[in-house]
Structure 1
């Protein structure tokens, strides 16, 4: 697991299309630009552009062993787990502005995911939306252990999806937040 502290990386992954490209590569393992274009609904040249931008910051790389021949360009993540170090980033020139852009984009994406999860499915929509929220009393060590264990479960399912030849597989989002319970939104403190 690599920890990134370059603020330019935040700007690169704050872009919604590049973020989606990272998600597609994470789920699939390796893909061609044409595969990403098909899965995301963007033109192949746009997918190639975003892959090159992600490669410029060391987030993705060409996987020469995955191609059919030397001209077949297949991409993969450099590191399965992208970990950011915001504190170090904001201390660098341009870091605070980059973090603000990244935070705004991440919050908007989180809102979008929650909004979509709570949509009432139409009869012709076979997608299953599973929403779960739990409250636990934990120490900080317990919270970190829980996160590691959840990550292991997600990694197992990711590997099953990568190895499957089932064309009916769909990209699902697993969005986890483990944090101390925040104060009530909009409620005055007593």
Structure 2
């Protein structure tokens, strides 16, 4: 697992399209720009551009062993788990602004995921299409860390199984937050 603290990397992955490219590569293991273009609905030249930008910051690399020949360019993540160190990022020049952009985009994406999860659609009869779960636990800090590690192991197992599958599988988002229970949103400070 690589930990990044460069504000430029944070800006690179804050871009919604580049973030989606990272998600596609994480799920698939390795892909061509044309594969990414097909999966994301962007032109292949845009997919290539975003892959080169991510490579510039050491997040993706060409996987020469995965191509059919030397001209076949296949990309993969340098590390499956991208971890950021926000405290070190904001202490660097330009870090505070980069973190603000990243945070704003991440919050917007989180809202989008939750909004989509609660949409009622034609798929509502298929419970596997949207699975929403919220649980409250009493944990020590050590237990919270262990829980996150165990969840990461489960997710990694499913990621590897998806990568090995020959079936055309859907891309699912697994969005995890483990944190102390926050204060109530919009709680009236002066109850009647």
* TM-score bracket, shorter-length normalisation: over 0.9
Q: Using the alignment, how far apart are the partners of 2:49 and 2:160 within structure 1?
A: 27
Taking structure 2 as the reference length, what is the TM-score of the superposition?
Answer: 0.95
| Contact 2:5–2:84 (CA under 8 A) maintained in structure 1 | yes
- Alpha-carbon RMSD across the aligned residues, in angstroms, is 1.4
Which residue of 2 is the match for residue 122 of structure 1? Answer: 122
Q: Using the alignment, how far apart are the partners of 1:125 and 1:5 within structure 2?
A: 44
Structure 2 counterparts to residues 139-178 of structure 1, below 5 A:
139-167=140-168, 169-178=169-178
SS of equivalent to 1:187: coil
> Residue deviations 1:61-107, cap 9 Å, x none?
00000000111000000001000000000000000000000000000
Is residue 2:63 matched to residue 1:63?
yes
- What's the offset of the Cα at 1:122? 1.9
Which residue of 2 is the match for residue 28 of structure 1? Answer: 28
- What's the offset of the Cα at 1:188? 3.7
Structure 2 counterparts to residues 88-99 of structure 1, below 5 A:
88-99=88-99
> Number of residues paired by the alignment?
189
Which residue of 2 is the match for residue 16 of structure 1? Answer: 16
Q: Using the alignment, how far apart are the partners of 1:97 and 1:105 within structure 2?
A: 12
Unaligned runs of 5+ in 2: none
Distance 1:74 1:125, change over 3 A: farther
- What's the offset of the Cα at 1:189? 4.6
Unaligned runs of 5+ in 1: none
Spell out structure 1 runs of 4+ moving beyond 4 A: 123-127
SS of equivalent to 1:134: coil
SS of equivalent to 2:122: coil
Which residue of 2 is the match for residue 138 of structure 1? Answer: 139
SS of equivalent to 1:184: coil
> Residue deviations 1:91-135, cap 9 Å, x none?
000000000000000000000000000000226996710100000
Distance 1:102 1:173, change over 3 A: same
